[in-house]
Chain A
Amino acid sequence: MQTIEIIISTDGQSRIETRGFTGSRCRDASRFLESALGTVSSEQLTAEYHQTVQQQPNELREEN
């Protein structure tokens, strides 16, 4: 299941986390919220994101 979780603190600052996406698709999925809410003050790519990105070149080499 693909979900976007937003935790909005008592001062109105938002923290968005994406779950269940592969690679950079998570960024595409949450961009509509990020641009609608305000200014991005920080972004952290998680291990899951990096693992998926690293796998892609290996898969391409195997196919060629």
Chain B
Amino acid sequence: MSHIVTIQTEVRDAEALGLACRRLELGEPVHETVPLFSGEATGYAVRLPDWRYPVVFDVEQRQVRYDNFEGRWGEPTHLNRLLQSYSVEKCRLEARRKGHSVLENRLSDGSIKLTIQIGEGHANH
């Protein structure tokens, strides 16, 4: 191996967000203004299971807004699972755009491993 990079996910792609919702069998994200406990938020709203308020992704500002009252109004694992699925779908989209093949495996700890095989002629681009 040559280098290792750790990345904190930012939701910036509405298409990948839609694919992530489909993967988790959630409703399609809708761009709207929704009320939260305090104020309102505009962006792609996703209704997570048993969450009192939607999670709102502003893909242009790279911000996510929600109010789950430190877990009492919504289980944080649902949001984490959505972020994981988003990352998977975003990687698959970007790899496909470059013509690379992707292999997906779920690991025993719940992580998902993607292996992207670089096609001939793509390595130096």
**A interface, CB within 8 angstroms of B:** 1-19, 21-23, 25-30, 32-34, 36-46, 48-49, 52
Contacts and interface: CB of A to CB of B under 8 A. Distances in A.
A5 B80 CA distance: 21
Nearest to A6: B114
Interface residues of B, number: 40
Interface of B: 1-10, 12-13, 77, 80-84, 86-88, 90-91, 94-95, 98, 107, 109-118, 123-125
Contacts of B110: 9-10
Nearest to A2: B118
Given A6-B114, A33-B91, A36-B94, A11 B4 contact: no
The main secondary structure of chain A at its interface with chain B is: mixed
A51 B1 CA distance: 12
Given A28-B125, A40-B7, 5 more contacts: A3-B116, A5-B116, A6-B115, A8-B114, A13-B8
A7 B112 contact: yes
A23 B3 CA distance: 9
State the main secondary structure of chain B at its contact with A. mixed
B76 to A, nearest CB: 9
B4 A13 contact: no
A4 B116 contact: yes
Given A8-B111, A16-B7, A38-B7, A46 B91 contact: no
Contact of B94 (A11, A29, A32): A32
B3 A44 contact: yes
Contacts of A13: 6-9
Contacts of B84: 8-12
Contact of B4 (A9, A15, A29): A15
A59 to B, nearest CB: 18
A19 B10 contact: no
